């Protein structure tokens, strides 16, 4: 049975205390009702608990978390999944800026658009491969400084029909990981030192694996998504600044 917390008119600190208490008491499923901008929900929680959020969470949802499976039934503000380690955040709406900053593991699935500077400095390590899948479009600086992991940008569910898939400076400073785009992007949107090419069979298999899960979360048709042509962005070097210095 789900453990219910009414977040109406209470401070984030109290909401988090209630979440921790519930986990300590053995709750495996928590439902947060009436969330209205409370920040840092589930920050730093190391537990494989499911948290359903109704309303709009504030800054840094699930920051530093390791394990929780958060489903936001609506939009979320900036910084979701900041430096997260493990777990999953599913957003049935839009997410703001800086989604998944420096995340090292887990998944973030966004149904619609995201803001600026999403997936900056994501990094992979051993069996940890962080993945962000965006159903809509993204602002500038997507995947800047990216060191590992995967960003998938679908552009199928966007409020901004006339905008390109991603903004400017896409993947600038990227030195690891991969960005998959469903459709093309003008080359001047791309950061320096990156290659943009159609995906191969291997990529298709990898993508499909992750997209199956994404489609399940939002009740989408996988075939419809993968029928479109995908492109991938990769860094040409893992040492973008290797020859910068005079000793």
Q: How far is CA 237 from CA 68, 164, 176, 246, in A?
A: 34, 26, 8, 20
Give CA 181 to chain center in angstroms: 14
| Residues β-bridged to residue 73 | 54
| Residues β-bridged to residue 90 | 71, 109
* Contact of 57 with 12, CB cutoff 8 Å: no
> Rg of the Cα trace of the chain?
18
Q: How far is the CB of 153 from another protein (least distance, A)?
A: 18
Q: How far is the CB of 41 from another protein (least distance, A)?
A: 9
Measured from the CB atom, the residue of 27 and 61 that comes closer to another protein is 61
Measured from the CB atom, the residue of 79 and 155 that comes closer to another protein is 79
Q: How far is the CB of 126 from another protein (least distance, A)?
A: 8
Residue ranges binding another protein (CB under 8 A): 12-13, 16, 20, 39-40, 43-44, 46, 59-60, 63-66, 78-79, 82-83, 85, 98, 101-102, 104, 117, 120-121, 123-125, 128, 144-145, 147-148, 173, 175-176, 238-247
Q: How far is the CB of 79 from another protein (least distance, A)?
A: 6
What does DSSP say about strands 194-198 and 50-56: parallel, antiparallel, or unpaired? unpaired
Q: How far is the CB of 107 from another protein (least distance, A)?
A: 17
Give CA 206 to chain center in angstroms: 17
Measured from the CB atom, the residue of 107 and 123 that comes closer to another protein is 123
Q: How far is the CB of 198 from another protein (least distance, A)?
A: 26
Measured from the CB atom, the residue of 84 and 111 that comes closer to another protein is 84
Measured from the CB atom, the residue of 59 and 181 that comes closer to another protein is 59
Q: In terms of Cα–Cα distance, which of 213, 240, 138 is closest to 181?
A: 138
Q: What phi, psi does 95 have (nearest 5°)?
A: -120, 155
Measured from the CB atom, the residue of 42 and 165 that comes closer to another protein is 42
Tally of CA atoms within 13 A in the half-sphere of 90 that contains its CB: 17
Task: Measure the CA–CA gap between 165 and 182, rounded to whole angstroms.
Answer: 8
């Amino acid at each position: 049975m789900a453990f219910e917390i009414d977040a109406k008119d209470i401070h984030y600190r109290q909401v988090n205390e209630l979440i921790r208490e519930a986990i300590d008491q053995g709750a495996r499923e928590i439902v947060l009702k009436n969330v209205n901008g409370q920040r840092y929900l589930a920050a730093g929680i190391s537990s494989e608990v499911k948290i359903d959020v109704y309303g709009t969470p504030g800054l840094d949802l699930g920051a530093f978390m390791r394990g929780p499976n958060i489903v936001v039934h609506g939009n979320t503000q900036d910084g979701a999944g900041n430096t997260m380690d493990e777990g999953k955040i599913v957003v049935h709406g839009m997410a703001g800026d800086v989604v998944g900053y420096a995340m090292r593991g887990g998944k973030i699935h966004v149904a619609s658009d995201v803001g600026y500077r999403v997936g900056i400095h994501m990094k992979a390590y051993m069996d940890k491969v962080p993945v962000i899948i965006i159903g809509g479009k993204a602002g500038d600086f997507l995947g800047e400084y990216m060191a590992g992991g995967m960003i998938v940008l679908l552009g199928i569910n966007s409020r901004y029909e006339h905008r390109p898939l991603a903004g400017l400076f896409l993947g600038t400073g990227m030195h690891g990981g991969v960005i998959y785009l469903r459709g093309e992007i003008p080359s001047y949107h791309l950061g320096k030192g990156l290659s943009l090419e159609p995906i191969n069979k291997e990529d298709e298999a990898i993508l499909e694996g992750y997209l199956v899960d994404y489609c399940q979360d939002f009740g989408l048709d996988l075939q419809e998504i993968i029928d479109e042509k995908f492109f991938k962005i990769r860094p040409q070097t893992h040492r973008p600044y290797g020859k910068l210095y005079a000793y």
